Amino acid sequence: MSLKILITISTIFASFMGWSQATVASKNMGFYFSPSLQAGYNLGNSIRNNQNRDSAYYQEFVKPYLANDFTYGIAATVGWQAFSFFGIGTGIGYNYIAYSLHLLSWTVQPRFFIGKDNDGKAIVELEFGKQFNQANVSDSKHYAIKLGYQESFSKRLNQEYGLFLRSNQFQSSNAVFIGAYLSAIIFTHKNYTVYGKD
């Protein structure tokens, strides 16, 4: 076999391999960063059973710190989608609950991806958060579930939107919020979306 033929075959083979690798879709996002916005409505404050609502203590130390009718928040999360159906993230979230309740929380968010189409997937996310700033309340916790939809926007960018149900637990009361969120997701695997298959 002549050198010219060998070079030609090698070039064709290398081109084919490169084209094949470029068009193989990734089954996960890899590492991701996600900023988000959310707003929710307070379904009601639940007061501890041992609180006397007519007492001076309640009027001075409990009532002023109850959650407002609405909450607003921003968050930033970093994570890793290990499998096509599962990812986990952690980050920091800020929530305005009331005039005296500005909460900074560390969060952990396991999430589940439903669907085979990388152009759009349903999302179920669980969230646990623990307050770390000093405010009129301290050491509060929250638990949340999110139901959303994630759709591709570009090679390394997805957008996600959906609904959430969140329970905030304070020392003297609880509050449950229902609301909506919107987030952007920047990720490392460019072939995860239809825009990356070029």
Residue 158 · residue 30 · CB < 8 Å: no
pLDDT tens-digit series, residues 118-164: 678 999 999 999 999 987 778 889 999 999 999 988 888 999 999 99
pLDDT tens-digit series, residues 44-56: 877 655 566 778 8
Residues recorded for the chain = 198
Taking alpha carbons only, the member of 146, 135, 134, 145 closest to residue 67 is: 135
CATH class held by domain 28-196:
mainly beta
Sign of CA dihedral 8, 10, 13, 19: negative
Residue 137 · residue 95 · CB < 8 Å: no
Q: What pLDDT does 165 receive?
A: 97
Q: Is the pTM of this model over 0.85?
A: no
Q: Which segment of 21-30, 95-104, 180-189 scores lowest on mean pLDDT?
A: 21-30
Residue 89 · residue 111 · CB < 8 Å: yes
